Amino acid sequence: MTPTHDRPRLSRRQILALMAGLMTALLLAALDQTKVGVALPTIVGQLGDIEHYSWVVTAYLLAATASIPLYGKISDLIGRRPVFLFAVGTFLVGSALAGASQTMVHLIIARGVQGIGAGGLMTLVFVIISDAVSPRERGRYQGLFGAVFGLASIAGPLVGGFFAEYDWRWIFYINIPLGLLALVVCSRVIRMIPHQRREHVLDWRGAVLLVGGVTCLLLALSWGGGEYAWSSSVIVWLLVASGVLAAMFLWQERRTPEPILPLSLFRRATFARANLAIFVLGMSMFGTIIFIPLYLQIVQGASPTRSGLLMLPLMLAIIVTSTTTGRAMSRIGRYKWFPVIGTATLFAGLLLFTQLHRESQMPVVAVYMVVIGVGLGLCMQSLILAVQNAVDLRDLGAGTSAATFFRTLGGSFGVAALGAVLTARLTSALDARLPDAVAQLPPEQAGQYADVAETLTVDDPASVLALPEPLRLAVQESLVSALQQVFLVAAAVVLIALVATLSMPDHRLRGPDDPADAGAAAPVGSTTTR
Residue 370 has pLDDT above 90, yes or no: yes
| Confidence bin at 5 (pLDDT 50/70/90) | very low
* Span of 112-126, 358-372, 513-527 with lowest mean pLDDT: 513-527
More confident residue, 160 or 50: 160
The confidence score (pLDDT) of residue 195 equals 58
The confidence score (pLDDT) of residue 518 equals 40
- Which residue, 238, 257, 276, sits at the end of a domain? 257
Specify whether 208 is located in the same domain as 196. no
In a domain, 427, yes or no: no
pTM of the model: 0.81
* Span of 47-56, 60-69, 297-306 with lowest mean pLDDT: 47-56
* Span of 146-160, 201-215, 491-505 with lowest mean pLDDT: 146-160
Q: 141 exposed, middle or buried (CB, 10 Å; 0-12, 13-18, 19+)?
A: buried
Task: Please report the sign of the dihedral spanned by the C-alpha atoms of residue 337, residue 342, residue 344, residue 345.
Answer: positive
Coil, strand or helix: which one is 373? helix
Specify whether 292 is located in the same domain as 329. yes
In a domain, 4, yes or no: no
Residue 315 has pLDDT above 60, yes or no: yes
The confidence score (pLDDT) of residue 194 equals 61
More confident residue, 142 or 24: 24
Q: What span, in angstroms and rounded, lies between the C-alpha atoms of 387 and 364? A: 36
Specify whether 23 is located in the same domain as 163. yes
| Confidence bin at 320 (pLDDT 50/70/90) | confident
| Confidence bin at 454 (pLDDT 50/70/90) | low
- What are the two backbone dihedrals, phi and then psi, of residue 228, each rounded to the nearest 5 degrees? -135, 150
Specify whether 293 is located in the same domain as 182. yes
Coil, strand or helix: which one is 201? coil
Specify whether 215 is located in the same domain as 360. no
Specify whether 124 is located in the same domain as 193. yes
DSSP 399-444: HHHHHHHHHHHHHHHHHHHHHHHHHHHHHHHHHHHHHHHHHTS-HH
The confidence score (pLDDT) of residue 201 equals 65
In a domain, 153, yes or no: yes
In a domain, 440, yes or no: no
Q: What span, in angstroms and rounded, lies between the C-alpha atoms of 123 and 87? A: 10
Specify whether 237 is located in the same domain as 321. no
Q: What span, in angstroms and rounded, lies between the C-alpha atoms of 347 and 498? A: 9
pLDDT tens digits along 234-253? 899 999 999 999 999 999 88
Specify whether 250 is located in the same domain as 345. no
| Confidence bin at 196 (pLDDT 50/70/90) | low
Specify whether 108 is located in the same domain as 186. yes
Number of domains in the chain: 2
Q: What percent of the chain has pLDDT above 90?
A: 18
The confidence score (pLDDT) of residue 275 equals 92
Q: What span, in angstroms and rounded, lies between the C-alpha atoms of 135 and 231? A: 46
| Confidence bin at 3 (pLDDT 50/70/90) | very low
pLDDT tens digits along 401-435? 888 888 888 887 887 788 888 888 888 888 888 88
| Confidence bin at 515 (pLDDT 50/70/90) | low
Mean pLDDT of 161-178: 84
In a domain, 194, yes or no: yes
The confidence score (pLDDT) of residue 516 equals 47
The H-assigned helical ranges of 224-336 are: 233-255, 269-289, 292-294, 304-310, 312-332
Residue 50 has pLDDT above 70, yes or no: no
Specify whether 324 is located in the same domain as 401. yes
- Which residue, 257, 280, 302, sits at the end of a domain? 257
Q: What is the dihedral of CA 237, 241, 242, 247, to 10 degrees?
A: 140
The confidence score (pLDDT) of residue 193 equals 67
Mean pLDDT of 369-393: 87
In a domain, 311, yes or no: yes
| Residue in 288, 270, 286, 492 with CA at minimum distance from that of residue 383 | 270
Enclosing domain of residue 238? 203-257
Cβ atoms of 481 and 354 within 8 Å: the answer is: no
Mean pLDDT of 140-154: 74
* Span of 43-52, 333-342, 478-487 with lowest mean pLDDT: 43-52
The confidence score (pLDDT) of residue 426 equals 86
Specify whether 496 is located in the same domain as 351. yes
In a domain, 428, yes or no: no
Specify whether 495 is located in the same domain as 361. yes
| Confidence bin at 521 (pLDDT 50/70/90) | very low
Residue 198 has pLDDT above 60, yes or no: no
Residue burial 232-248, b: 16+ Cβ < 10 Å; e: rest: eeebeebbebbeebbeb
Mean pLDDT of 5-25: 75
- Rank 37-46, 71-80, 447-456 by mean pLDDT and report only the highest: 71-80
According to DSSP, the residues that pair with 228 across neighbouring strands are 224
Mean pLDDT of 506-526: 52
In a domain, 508, yes or no: no
More confident residue, 189 or 362: 362
| Confidence bin at 205 (pLDDT 50/70/90) | confident
Q: What is the CATH number of the domain that holds 370?
A: 1.20.1250.20
Coil, strand or helix: which one is 224? strand
Cβ atoms of 164 and 38 within 8 Å: the answer is: yes
| Confidence bin at 347 (pLDDT 50/70/90) | very high
The confidence score (pLDDT) of residue 326 equals 80
Residue 513 has pLDDT above 90, yes or no: no
Mean pLDDT of 292-301: 84
Mean pLDDT of 446-468: 71
- Rank 87-96, 168-177, 195-204, 257-266 by mean pLDDT and report only the highest: 87-96
